[in-house]
Amino acid sequence: MRNRLSNIIWGLLFIAIGVGIAGNELFDWNFTIFFPGWWTLFIIIPCFTSMIRSGFRTGSTIGFIIGIALLASYYIKWDVSFWELVVPVILVAIGLKIIFNGMFNRPRHINVTVHADEHGNTAGPGKQEYNAIFAGNKVRVTDRFTGATLNAVFGGVTLDLRDAIIDHDVEIAATAVFGGIDIYIPNGVSVKVNNVPIFGGVSNKAAHTSDPNAPTIYLNSTTMFGGIDIK
């Protein structure tokens, strides 16, 4: 449902732009997408859709607040430099996350069969979040993998799952905006991709498995001027 809602937002955005451009030609509207601060939408919209898709998470929330503040700086006179407010903005976002943690973070359910090991332990439902905003982030998972949220905004994220334990279906929610995400997949795991490409895309080079009962990684992603490589 959340992935569907984020797709609807992207669809409505492109419809609005198309109608506006057509209105310029047909009815002499004064429509333009290049308003002051228009470039901040490349931060605001992906972070907002990531919040809808994956819940109230730190990386997407910080990116959204920074994007809104950058856009506001074009219309509100600041007595201080915006970049001097970055640290307070991050602290506020972390505080909001602590307050509202769990209120909006209800992950999409996937019908799975959870397997127990010899000690009776089962895979948990928790998801990890890995962000790279104007930076890089490399993560290697060596224990049981239960899903993740990846956000790369003007940065890069590498998620290495080659030594991870994946014995049931999991979901990876990913957003790449002017950045890249690399995901290394272990053998014997199937991958299914649902991507919203906006001058970007997903390259799936993972080895194919013929086992119909193999666990599946469901990648739900948005790529804007960025890309995701599955290896």
- Render pLDDT for 91-136 as a digit per residue (tens, 0 to 9): 676 566 556 554 444 433 333 333 334 433 333 445 788 888 778 8
Looking at residue 107, its pLDDT comes to 38
pLDDT of res. 1: 53
Q: Which residue has the higher pLDDT, 146 or 63?
A: 146
148: pLDDT strictly greater than 60:
yes
Output 204 or 60, whichever has higher pLDDT: 204
What's the whole-number mean pLDDT along residues 14-25?
84
> Quick one: 83 and 145 in the same domain?
no
- Give the pLDDT score at 114: 37
Q: Same structural domain for residues 166 and 219?
A: yes
Between vectors from CA 101 to CA 41 and to CA 172, what angle results, nearest 5°? Answer: 60
Task: Please indicate, yes or no, if residue 117 is contained in any of the structural domains.
Answer: no
Task: Report yes or no on 167 lying in a domain.
Answer: yes
Instruction: Judge whether 105 lies within some domain.
Output: no
Q: Does the pLDDT of residue 172 top 90, yes or no?
A: yes
Q: Averaged over 65-79, what is the pLDDT?
A: 80
Residues 41-54: pLDDT tens digits?
878 887 787 777 66
Residue 1 placed within a domain: no
Residue at 72 is within a domain: yes
Full-model pTM:
0.57
Rounded mean pLDDT of the chain?
A: 77
Determine the pLDDT at residue 116: 38
Same domain, yes or no: 94 and 166: no
The mean per-residue pLDDT over the stretch 67-74 comes to: 83
224 located within any domain: yes
In terms of residue numbers, what domain contains 182?
128-230
Number of structural domains the chain divides into: 2
pLDDT band at residue 30 using 50, 70 and 90 as cut-offs? confident
Are 157 and 214 contained in the same domain? yes
Last residue of a domain, one of 49, 83, 100: 100
74 is a domain residue: yes
- 184-222 residue pLDDT tens: 999 899 999 988 787 788 999 988 888 888 999 999 888
In the predicted model, what is the mean pLDDT of residues 31-40?
81
Comparing 9 with 1, the larger pLDDT belongs to 9
Q: Is 32 part of a structural domain of the chain?
A: yes
Q: What is the pLDDT of residue 177?
A: 82
